[in-house]
Amino acid sequence: MTHTSLTAVDWLIMLLYFVFVLGIGFALKRYMKTSKDFFQAGRALPAWICGLAFISANLGAQEVIGMGASGAKYGLATSHFYWIGAIPAMIFVGIFMMPFYYGSKARSVPEFLRLRFDEKTRALNACSFAVMTVFSSGISMYAMARLIQTLHVFDSIFLSAGLPLGYIFHLSIILSAIIVLGYIFLGGLTSAIYNEVLQFFLIIAGFLPLVLIGLRNVGGWSGLKASLPSAYTHSWQGMTHANTNPLGVEWFGLAMGLGFVLSFGYWCTDFLVIQTAMATDTQENARRVPLIAAIPKMFFPFLVILPGLLAIAATTPKEVTTQRVEANGAIVHTITFPTEAEAKGKGLVPAKTDPLTGKIVLDASGHPLLDYDLAIPSMLLHYFPTGILGLGLTALLASFMSGMAGNVTAFNTVWTYDLYQSYIHKGGTDKHYLAMGRWATVGGIILSMATAYAATGFNNIMHHRGPPASRPDPAHRSPPRPPRRLDPRHSQLPQRHGPELLDRHLGLLHQLHCLHPGQPHGQTQTRVRARRPRPLPDPKTRDGPSAVVAPPRSPGRPADRHGSNSEHHLPLESAVFSDL
Amino acid sequence: MNLDLRIPMGLMFLLVGLILTIFGMVTNGSEIYLRSGGTNVNIGWGLVLLIFGAIMFTLGRRNQRRLAKEPQKPQEPGAVRRGH
């Protein structure tokens, strides 16, 4: 992708966001007097804040990057993840399940399971959830660092400071860890919720102008419809049979598998979102929280999926010559060459490059594979001038960090109440558990960092040789390519860290979003697929959602089904829907 | 919680909007706006965010002043609570 540098304005906006995020944490510190304040936000937050945090906890990297990628790949059918795969479950959890959760006065979902069933159910759920949520947080951290590296937006600052570009990855991980640790340590769940609401508005602020500019560029909705195949702009077309629509599902599998099994399994049981609903002040408000969240959720397809459609409908970058007359009369020609990946891509979605060979990855018929995960970042870098570009990138980073924060607060609550208090140190003082919660935050962040580094080991064997690409390795140097710009004022950034190195890491995101039900693995390259950072079920068949979920349980009491399903589905649901 | 989120959030969007608007005014007509189809998005969107931030900040302050005027609820006794 053409290397866009950030200017001082962009950095200023990013810095401002981080200052406010930490500032909110500091401002909340004095209200954290008891463990209830820290872990459950004192159960005193207003419904609108919890409602927006409910949806925002879910709006991590998976939504922002993954939905854009799915939109570029499958078209508007991706909206089913919202309108079928979220709204019904959110309404259900608000109306029917929140009375159970809130009324039981349980402090976490595992504790609710103990009240409803028994201690061993709680232990199983707590252990599996704690592990899963720390992994989620780590993968968010990793994905953010990789994305920053791929976009090359920090390159100019690092080069001017004389630091090797390989340090960008480490700096991203450490910086995000410090910031999230800072505001969670100080303000607990309240801080996490407040920052999630901030992130919600920031995502709208960052993406709405992108959609508006992109739509205008392509000629409005009718222009978009004209430039894409009709399967892209219809969500129900061809749903009677799996072969006639891009998602590869049919309506029954979609409605039952996604709309019932998968979505209920996530929205009704994942403590990451439930903790925000349980933080509100009354039971009536607790029931309203998911309903409040469902309203913006209905409109989010236009914010996250539409950019993916716009990316694929845009014109593919070509060589561009611009001519400028300088003040002294000199005529300057600037010829901008798109990179090979951009030129061989479709629209603004670049082609996938193999990080080891630097070549474009081809599918069986010889066409280049597309790197859909880069659809939304590509759009941001292409359409946003400096200034608002800082805002767009801040929104992107905010979504990753907010996902991490939600996971870390869920971890420290489950660890302190369900593991530490129940098995290790019963009957301690409240102050003791409050201190434990703070240390659990530190522990959670350290484990997340460990997961993030473990993920690098799985996805790129180059890291076994040392710091990522910090020294030239002849085997990995990309073949000489035409200079990007002939204008000597534009710096030539080293080609070592081009997309060929980093695209591989975003393959992780691609794999994770490909594991949404019904998405065939047709286009993932085998080499990347063979290396997974965590054991995820491999949908070997292409039958759609029913292939991915466990077989349906025998009908029992409604509470039974939800309770016993929750700990079974929790790791699976989190694998598919977990907040990245 | 006594901290109304609308105050810091409104303040942040106010500042971001201000920065974008000023930057947009300074760079009006520059070639950087070729990418966004010629429109000066910085001014336009900066103003939108400025207004949004101002509204949020005002609502937050008004709520805070209203709560400050109400009679204070009796403080919980300072005894430590054991976990349940």
Please tell me whether residue A379 adopts helix, strand or coil conformation: helix
Mean pLDDT is highest, among A462-466, B34-38, B47-51, for B47-51
Contacts of A285 in chain B (CB under 8 A): none
Is A385 in Cβ contact with B8 (below 8 Å)? no
In this predicted structure, what is the pLDDT of residue A566?
40
> Measured between CA atoms, how close is B58 to chain A, in angstroms?
16
Least confident of A157-161, A352-356, A469-473: A469-473
Structural domain includes residue A37: yes
Kindly state whether A5 is in contact with chain B, defined as any CB-CB distance less than 8 angstroms: no
Q: How confident is the model at residue A138 (pLDDT cuts 50, 70, 90)?
A: very high
Span A291-337, pLDDT tens digits:
999 999 999 888 889 999 999 888 888 888 888 888 888 898 888 78
Q: pLDDT at residue A533 above 70?
A: no
**Average pLDDT in chain A:** 78
Find out whether A412 and A445 touch, Cβ atoms under 8 Å.
no
Structural domain includes residue A332: no
Is B80 in Cβ contact with A431 (below 8 Å)? yes
User: What CA–CA distance (Å, rounded) separates A77 from A490?
Assistant: 41
Of the residues A391, A424, A434, A490, the best mutation for testing chain B's interface (the one with the most B CB atoms within 10 Å of its CB) is A391
Structural domain includes residue A493: no
Kindly state whether A216 is in contact with chain B, defined as any CB-CB distance less than 8 angstroms: yes
Host H or E run for residue A336: strand A331-336
Kindly state whether A36 is in contact with chain B, defined as any CB-CB distance less than 8 angstroms: yes
Of the residues B13, B45, B64, the best mutation for testing chain A's interface (the one with the most A CB atoms within 10 Å of its CB) is B45
- More confidently predicted of A13 and A526: A13
Contacts of A205 in chain B (CB under 8 A): 13, 16, 45, 49
> Measured between CA atoms, how close is A453 to chain B, in angstroms?
33
Structural domain includes residue A61: yes
- More confidently predicted of B68 and B71: B68
Is B45 in Cβ contact with A388 (below 8 Å)? yes
Contacts of A430 in chain B (CB under 8 A): 80-83
Structural domain includes residue A169: yes
Find out whether A195 and A45 touch, Cβ atoms under 8 Å.
no
**Average pLDDT in chain B:** 83
Span A47-60, pLDDT tens digits:
999 999 999 988 88
Is A387 in Cβ contact with B20 (below 8 Å)? yes
Please tell me whether residue A489 adopts helix, strand or coil conformation: coil
Give the chain A residue nearest B53 (alpha carbons): A201
Amino acid at A236: W
- Looking at residue A41, the DSSP 8-state letter turns out to be G
Is B2 in Cβ contact with A9 (below 8 Å)? no
User: What CA–CA distance (Å, rounded) separates A66 from A73?
Assistant: 10
| Number of structural domains found in chain A | 1
Question: What is the number of CB-based contacts under 8 A between chain A and chain B?
Answer: 105
Place of tokens 């409109």: A299
Structural domain includes residue A28: yes
> Measured between CA atoms, how close is B70 to chain A, in angstroms?
17
Contacts of A23 in chain B (CB under 8 A): 8
Burial of A308 (0-12, 13-18, 19+ CB in 10 A): buried
For residue A40, the number of C-alpha atoms closer than 13 Å in the C-beta half-sphere is 22
Stretch B3-28: mean pLDDT, rounded? 92
> Measured between CA atoms, how close is B45 to chain A, in angstroms?
7
Of A141, A134, A135, nearest in space to A173 by CA: A141
Of the residues B15, B19, B22, B23, the best mutation for testing chain A's interface (the one with the most A CB atoms within 10 Å of its CB) is B23
Tokens of A172: 């991203």
Q: Which of B12, B23, B33 is nearest residue A9 as measured by Cβ atoms? A: B23
Structural domain includes residue A472: no
Q: pLDDT at residue A242 above 70?
A: yes
Domain that holds residue A297: 8-316+342-449+498-577
In this predicted structure, what is the pLDDT of residue B73?
61
Kindly state whether A461 is in contact with chain B, defined as any CB-CB distance less than 8 angstroms: no
User: What CA–CA distance (Å, rounded) separates A45 from B2?
Assistant: 10
CATH value at residue A225: 1.20.1730
Is A385 in Cβ contact with B32 (below 8 Å)? yes
Structural domain includes residue A482: no
Q: What is the CA radius of gyration of chain B?
A: 21
